[in-house]
Amino acid sequence: MFFIKLIFSFVLISSSLCSANRWYRMFNTNHDDPCIDRHKRFQRCIPDFINAAYQKPIYVTSTCGNSPKEFCNLSQLNQNHPIDYLTDINNPNNLTCWQSDLIKQNDNVSLILSFKKKFELTYISLQFCSPNKPDSMAIFKSMDMGLTWIPLQYYSNNCEDIFNKSSNGLITRSNEQEALCIDTKSQLLTMSETRIAFSTLEGRPSAYEFDTSPVLQDWVTATDIKIILLSSNIEPNSYSLADFAVGGRCKCNGHASKCITNSDGRLVCDCKHNTAGDECERCKDFHYDRPWARATQRDANECVVCNCNKHSTKCRFNLELYKMSGHKSGGVCIDCQHNTAGRSCHYCREGFTRDLTQSMTSINACQACNCNNHSQQCRFNKELYLLSGRKSGGICIQCKHNTVGRHCSYCKETFYRDPNLSITHPDICKGNQ
């Protein structure tokens, strides 16, 4: 049963998530970045599927040997049942078992596994060392490093009383994030096995459209897993587990092929496609020309650099502009330098004129008009520019204050220049009276 579930899980997540890597391996044996295809285009990439619990420390609320020592001695030949045995190498021919202390009626044991980062989980499996399994068991996940817990699955011989859940629950497209309670009385086959496995996507209608289902993408995401084993026996009871396994991948939203330890010692995605963040969940700085999106099989949805013509290194995203452009470009440059202005720093700001002998990306693309404060507008004249020894090519237009000339430095006919005022003074030209 477990293997059927396991295969199901693999088919689901592997078929939807692995294709990019599979195609990569078929056609791209000579280059090593799974996030880029053979045509050097971005493509979805995902970290390897792993047992995310393997050799991880587990926090448990009870381990035998801590209270009456005789108990461990009596029940097991091997007296040592430490927590490490939950996540060590699982050899079916030589099981190593963790064992709880004696649990009183209505008490419980909790096991907590922390990934310290978001993972996307395919299955959670527990192998018991003996058929003595708890009457009730619950699997929870946290998405915020253990601050809050969300139920994933319940198991009980009395779902209604223990968990206040019906054992006939049904998952439809309207409640795909709901935990079911599995009636262990009616599923004797499953419960007589020593391994219990919960597949995160099994029976959830959108599982085959995982790529386009934010609800299920969220459902399989966890930073921590908590297992609660409840005892309803009148006599104190002990539970023994050989293996705690969690199949899944480091969550990188399709923008990284591996997770690495960063300089702070934290596990984070090795983000590609111009993305950033622990889970590559945002665009990196200055790459806001279109909105962030998770990579899909069809589209890497890489973040795109803003085009500021080399006059700015800062930009922001504007949704309205993005929509107006037909979902092509929404970046708006901030703080354009070199006397440029505009959404892409693509024209000259007031008082400056475009030097047409320079490329728009040149730091000299915009020249001061030099209109002596009598105009803010000028046009560029290439001949004049060359004649001036490439110093000045602007011709002022719309000179005010009764001035005229290329630099608004002469008075109009019938006006004369006041010799006591500076050329930039607004009253420089006086009328003849």
- List residues near Ca ion by CB under 5 A: 85, 88, 96, 242-243
Strand 150-156 to 180-183 pairing: parallel
Q: Are 122 and 13 in contact (CB under 8 A)?
A: yes
Please report how close the Cβ of residue 89 comes to Ca ion at its closest, in angstroms: 7
Shortest CB 184 distance to Ca ion, Å: 23
> Residue 224 or 243: which CB sits closer to Ca ion?
243
- Return the residue nearest Ca ion (CB atom): 96
In the complex, minimum distance from the CB of residue 231 to Ca ion, in angstroms, rounded to a whole number? 22
User: Strand pairing partners for 62?
Assistant: none
Choice between 17 and 225, CB closer to Ca ion? 225
Residue 171, token pair as written in the block: 């998952």
Element (H, E) at 124: strand 108-128
Nearer to Ca ion, 242 or 332 (CB): 242
In whole angstroms, the minimum distance from the beta carbon of 54 to Ca ion comes to 11
Of the pair 94, 261, the CB lying nearest Ca ion is at 94
Q: Which residues does 386 contact at the CB level (< 8 Å), separation at least 6?
A: 393
Measured from the CB atom, the residue of 49 and 98 that comes closer to Ca ion is 98
Residues 6+ apart with CB under 8 A from 333: 306, 307, 308, 311, 312, 314, 315, 342, 343, 344, 345
Identify which of residues 88 and 299 has a Cβ nearer to Ca ion in the complex.
88
In 3D space, the residue among 184, 180, 156 whose CA is nearest the CA of residue 168 turns out to be 180
Closest approach of Cβ 238 to Ca ion, in Å?
Answer: 16
Dist. CA 272–CA 33, nearest whole Å: 10
393-402 core/surface letters (b: 16 or more CB in 10 A; e: else): bbbbeebebb
| CA–CA–CA angle 370, 371, 375 (5° rounding) | 130
Contacts of 187 (CB under 8 A, 6+ apart): none
Closer CB to Ca ion, 96 or 339, in the complex? 96
Q: Find the shortest distance in angstroms from Cβ 241 to Ca ion.
A: 8
Question: What minimum distance in Å lies between the beta carbon of 81 and Ca ion?
Answer: 10
